[in-house]
């Protein structure tokens, strides 16, 4: 059974508890220390490989999502074209309804708003959208220069790189 990194680190710390506090004598062998170091490296390497594998899966899925979105957009344009094509054909023949064994096709009159000149629309018919969001780059630059920005602070983080 393989151990987790947590268990390996705990075993590593337990080795150093086997140092005699009075004499400073080391009560473990180099082989024990080397075995734990090697186990840690193997486990860390395996986790690194898993990270790369999962990142590759994520990338592949994103690419597949993009491809599917493109196919959907293309298919939607095709449906829109075919609907206009069929509607024009029905209108040219003066038909409002057509029933076949597989479809019932009908036209209907609808009304929609067409905006011809948005600048001329009275204010009571306009929706105002206001969106605010922190400007992180500018805040970061100000904080690095020693300027106090209320509600903000620089946080040092450590990230992992797997290549």
Residue 78 lies in a domain: yes
Q: Which two tokens stand for residue 28?
A: 């473990």
Provide the number of structural domains found in the chain: 1
Say what the pLDDT of residue 157 is. Answer: 85
Cβ distance 107 to 97 under 8 Å?
yes
Interval 101-126: pLDDT, tens = 999 999 998 888 899 999 999 999 99
Residue 90 lies in a domain: yes
Residue 13 lies in a domain: yes
pTM score over 0.85: no
Helix (H, G, I), strand (E, B) or coil at 26: strand
Q: Compute CA distances 61 → 14, 49, 75, 123, 162, whole Å.
A: 43, 18, 20, 45, 20
Residue 141 lies in a domain: no
Ranges of residues in the chain whose predicted pLDDT is under 50: none
Find the domain containing 57 and state its range. Answer: 5-121
Residue 101 lies in a domain: yes
CB atoms inside a 10 Å sphere around CB 36: 19
């Amino acid at each position: 059974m393989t151990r987790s990194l947590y268990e390996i680190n705990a075993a590593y710390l337990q080795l150093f508890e086997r140092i005699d506090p009075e004499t400073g004598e080391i009560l473990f062998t180099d082989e024990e220390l080397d075995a734990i170091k090697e186990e840690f490296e193997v486990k860390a390497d395996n986790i690194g490989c898993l990270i790369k594998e999962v990142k590759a899966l994520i990338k592949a899925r994103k690419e597949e999502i993009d491809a599917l979105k493109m196919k959907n957009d293309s298919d939607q344009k095709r449906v829109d074209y075919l609907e206009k094509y069929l509607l024009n054909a029905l209108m040219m023949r003066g038909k409002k309804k057509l029933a076949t064994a597989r479809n019932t096709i009908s036209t209907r009159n609808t009304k929609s708003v067409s905006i011809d000149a948005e600048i001329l629309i009275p204010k009571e018919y306009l929706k105002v959208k206001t969106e605010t969001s922190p400007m992180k780059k500018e805040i970061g630059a100000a904080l690095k220069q020693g300027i106090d920005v209320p509600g903000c602070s620089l946080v040092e983080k450590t990230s992992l790189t797997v290549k």
